[in-house]
Structure 1
Amino acid sequence: MSGQQPAVYIMASGERGTLYVGVTGSLRQRVHQHREGSVEGFTSRYDVGRLVWFELHPDFPSAIAREKQLKKWNRVWKLRLIENANPIWRDLWDDIQI
């Protein structure tokens, strides 16, 4: 999987809205898919298209472990994580350099 940068990310429908936690090897491509609703599923069903948090990882095992950890967190913890890094819930799409 050369050329891929493992990342864990959180998408939201809006400020403090519906949240989605995911992992990918191509953050820009995956976020684009969520934003366009090009893949049927949770994010297209609930209009979850704003990237509000992401974290890059050195390898897929660590990214997958972090995703699993975040999925077990309660909503308040996830909101706190987002708001510590992105207090105004800005869409981070333009911040993706990979």
Structure 2
Amino acid sequence: MKGYVYILRCSDGTYYTGSTTNLELRLSQHQNGQGANYTKKRLPVELVYYEEYQRIDEAFAREKQIQRWSHKKKEALIQGHLDDLPRLAKKIWKKTPPT
């Protein structure tokens, strides 16, 4: 079953990332306040990006990846600035173990 990952821009400028098997229905649900609690409080929302996958589990995995991204990294993806994505990745610093 096909799946989609999508990004919505909410009325407060934040982004919401989700996945679905029916993009048109899900967008309608978000706009009608029947979507996620997050978007319900930030209407109206606008679809600004989506990707299509052959299977919903692939879309769900991509959703979880994008959800961890910063606002700036999501904007680079939305604008098609794919070369900027590695630079915008969050730096994870490992603690040095005590000696």
5+ long unaligned stretches in structure 1: 86-98
Query: Rg bigger for which structure?
Result: 2
Whether contact under 8 Å (2:5, 2:52) holds in the other structure is yes
Ranges of 4+ aligned residues in structure 1 off by more than 4 Å: none
5+ long unaligned stretches in structure 2: 82-99
Query: Which residue number in structure 2 is paired with residue 5 of structure 1?
Result: 2
Give the whole-Å Cα distance in 2 for the aligned partners of 1:34 and 1:28: 10
Identity %: 33
**Which has the bigger relative contact order, CA under 8 A and spacing at least 6?**
1
Give the whole-Å Cα distance in 2 for the aligned partners of 1:62 and 1:37: 26
Give the whole-Å Cα distance in 2 for the aligned partners of 1:72 and 1:6: 20
Whether contact under 8 Å (1:5, 1:58) holds in the other structure is yes
Whether contact under 8 Å (2:26, 2:35) holds in the other structure is no
Q: Is the alpha carbon distance of 1:61 and 1:26 closer, same or farther for their aligned partners in structure 2, counting shifts above 3 Å?
A: same
Give the whole-Å Cα distance in 1 for the aligned partners of 2:2 and 2:32: 21
Alignment match of 2:53 (pick from 57, 64, 76): 57
Q: Is the alpha carbon distance of 1:44 and 1:60 closer, same or farther for their aligned partners in structure 2, counting shifts above 3 Å?
A: same
3-state SS, counterpart of residue 9 of structure 1: strand
Give the whole-Å Cα distance in 2 for the aligned partners of 1:49 and 1:35: 6
Give aligned pairs, total. Answer: 81
**Pairwise CA RMSD of aligned residues?**
2.0
Q: Is the alpha carbon distance of 1:55 and 1:40 closer, same or farther for their aligned partners in structure 2, counting shifts above 3 Å?
A: closer
Query: 1:5: how far off?
Result: 2.7
